[in-house]
Amino acid sequence: MLQIAALLSMQAFSFSGFEKSLTGASMLSLLWCGLLLIIFLGSSIGWLARGSKVGKTARADEEFTAAFRSSAHLLALFQTGMVFPGSARAAVYQNACRELSWHLLGTDTVDKNYMARLRTAGRITPSQADAVLRTSGHVTDEVTRPMLAGLDGIAVWSLPILGFVGALVCLLDGLGRGEVGVGLWSSVLWPLLAGALFFLFAVMGQRRFSRQARAAAAHVRDFGVEIGVALDRMFVDHREPMERLPSLGGMGLVEGPNFTQPPAETPGAPAVPASPRVVGTGS
């Protein structure tokens, strides 16, 4: 019982000390702590909103990936026109399939004869496959750029700096008013404490969102690689072409005109007649 009473008395003493230091702080110190609190809440709300958006994108990506991996072939979902709102992988897939359809069929429009033309279509060359992969990579960069933007968190890293600046401002204010003792040190230390605590909590939230955003962006890039593998297996013809463009020698053009000489001196070139000289008549 004595230990419990001693513990309760110590807690009451500590809380009373915090209360005394808080009431002894100046109005400027409390206002500065309020400014730090507003910055902390603003950055936290921003991280939560972006984290919720990335989470919705990840759930839409999972739904799309399940449908994609259960489809018959690479262009099956593109042919049926299924839509997955908010899915970053679906955006990569749609643009890649549109480019692939253009190289396979000469059009990126799906109509009632699309499947029949797809059955009779041949394969594309590796250079055409590179165009499809470039489109896929470009769209991947576009959809992942908003996820990774602003991960440094300038507002978060400004909290300890503003806390230190606030402590200096409160110190100068207290010395100017001739304040000493508990009131002065309370006014100085409260902005430092608020800046350090808010910075700690903000960094924890920022790191959690950063891991979530980087993981989502990595999954989108991995899906782009998966599309490239499926494209290479099903639609790319890696055989050497049967016909090649003829060379100049094969076309019989062994020697050409030497333009370092005047046209009249070039072997085999027709002579250029001299222009008639106009002789003026004297009056």
State mean pLDDT over 145-155. Answer: 79
**What pLDDT sits at residue 7?**
44
Mean pLDDT of the chain: 79
**Mean pLDDT computed over 35-40:** 92
Q: What is the reported pLDDT for 10? A: 47
- What DSSP string runs through the chain? -HHHHHHHHHHHHHHHHHHHHHHHS-HHHHHHHHHHHHHHHHHHHHHHHHHHHHHHHHHHHHHHHHHHHTSSSTTHHHHHT---TT-HHHHHHHHHHHHHHHHHHS-----TTHHHHHHH---B-HHHHHHHHHHHHHHHHHHHHHHHTTTT-HHHHHHHHHHHHHHHHHHHHHHHTT--THHHHHHHHHHHHHHHHHHHHHHHHHHHHHHHHHHHHHHHHHHHHHHHHHHHHHTB--SPPS--PPPTTTTT------TTS-GGGSTTPPPPPPPPPPPPPP-
| Mean pLDDT on 207-229 | 90
In a domain, 47, yes or no: yes
- Please report whether residue 263 resides in a domain: no
Predicted pLDDT at 67: 92
Assess if residue 264 is contained within a domain.
no
- Mean pLDDT of all residues in 55-63: 92
Which pLDDT value is given to residue 261?
52
The residue segments making up the domain with residue 210 are 23-235
Residue 22 is predicted with a pLDDT of 67
Residue 216, in any domain of the structure: yes
Q: Where is pLDDT greater, at 237 or 163?
A: 163
Tell me what the mean pLDDT of segment 152-178 comes to: 83
**46 belongs to a structural domain:** yes
Q: Taking residues 148-159, report their average pLDDT.
A: 78
Predicted pLDDT at 255: 57
Task: Tell whether the model's pLDDT for residue 4 goes beyond 70.
Answer: no
Please check whether residue 252 lies inside any domain of the structure: no
Query: What local confidence, expressed as pLDDT, does residue 220 receive?
Result: 93
pLDDT of residue 16: 64
pLDDT reported for residue 248: 52
171 band by pLDDT with thresholds 50, 70 and 90? confident
What would the mean pLDDT of 23-42 be, rounded to a whole number? Answer: 87
pLDDT of residue 244: 62
- The whole-number average pLDDT for the span 179-184 is 74
183-195 average pLDDT score: 85
pLDDT (tens digit, 9 = 90+) per residue, 111-148? 888 888 888 888 888 888 899 999 999 999 999 998 88
Which pTM value belongs to this model?
0.68
pLDDT beyond 90 at 46 = no
Q: Residue 28: pLDDT above 50? A: yes
The tally of domains found in the chain comes to 1
Predicted confidence (pLDDT) at residue 256 exceeds the cutoff of 90:
no
267 located within any domain: no
Give domain status of residue 283, yes or no.
no
